[in-house]
Amino acid sequence: MTGIILLTVPTIIYGGNFLLGLISGQYPELSLTPFQQAMFRAGHAHAGVLVILALLAQLFADHALLSVKVRWFVRGGFPLAAILVSGGFFAAAAGPGRTEPNAFIAVLYAGMLLLTASLIILGIGLLRKK
């Protein structure tokens, strides 16, 4: 799982480079509203931070007292939450001239719920004695 997560980092790097070009006017045909710029920045920032958290969670899961199935839920929950949260920001702002989130904002909230569940389960597993 850790190897898979590490292989996602170049996509975040590419996304950051593209976002920098977009915001600096390198792609004038892709004009963004201030709302879209803010959502895309937030999506990119959350992707980076949550991938780092997902990597740390892989190590912490090794030390948590959890069943095999629950441990794998946690191991997968963190990277999936990173995808859903950041993807939710991007998808909710998609579309020309958008100034408020569309229905895809639900993806962001689903990611938040998954992240919260994974955090709580892992935290409880770490507090339990092995």
Separation in Å, CA 29 to CA 37, 50, 66? 15, 31, 51
Q: Mean pLDDT across the stretch 34-52?
A: 95
Predicted confidence (pLDDT) per residue in 65-107, tens digit: 999 999 999 999 999 999 999 999 999 999 999 999 999 999 9
pTM: 0.91
Domain count, the chain: 1
Give the integer Cα–Cα distance in Å for 127 and 113. Answer: 21
| Better-predicted residue by pLDDT, 75 or 29 | 75
Tell me the average pLDDT of the chain. 95
Q: Mean pLDDT across the stretch 22-46?
A: 91
Q: Is-contact 32 90, C-beta < 8 A?
A: no
Q: Mean pLDDT across the stretch 113-125?
A: 98
pLDDT above 70: residue 130: no
pLDDT above 90: residue 24: no
| Better-predicted residue by pLDDT, 91 or 27 | 91
Which structural domain range is residue 101 located in? 2-127
Tell whether the torsion through CA atoms of 89, 95, 100 and 105 is positive or negative: negative
28 pLDDT band, cuts 50/70/90, is confident
Q: Where are the alpha helices (DSSP H) in the chain?
A: 2-23, 34-61, 68-92, 105-127
Residue found under tokens 């895309």: 40
